[in-house]
Amino acid sequence: MASLLQCVVRTHIIRNATKVALIVGTILNLINQGNALFGSETISWPHVFLNYLVPYCIASYSAAKNELAHNTE
């Protein structure tokens, strides 16, 4: 049985989680950093990074848990 970490680094999970992170992260950045992107405020680069990292982690974790659950049944 594969561990969670072994599942998370599988190519198809990385590819799909990256797609989710790009879409959701961009939306979050538009919402959270809109004034900086379209106005006079400065961009908070740590927040930009986190807006992409969090959806990536959630998507890869849930995909790996789902794969593990289906492999043990």
Q: Residue 67: its pLDDT value, please?
A: 92
Provide the residue type at 45 as one letter: W
Q: Which two tokens stand for residue 44?
A: 């908070």
CB 69 within 8 A of CB 4: no
Counting the structural domains of the chain, the total is 1
Mean pLDDT of the chain: 92
The model carries a pTM of 0.88
Please give the residue range of the domain that contains residue 41. Answer: 4-72
Quick: pLDDT tens for 41-57: 899 999 999 999 999 99
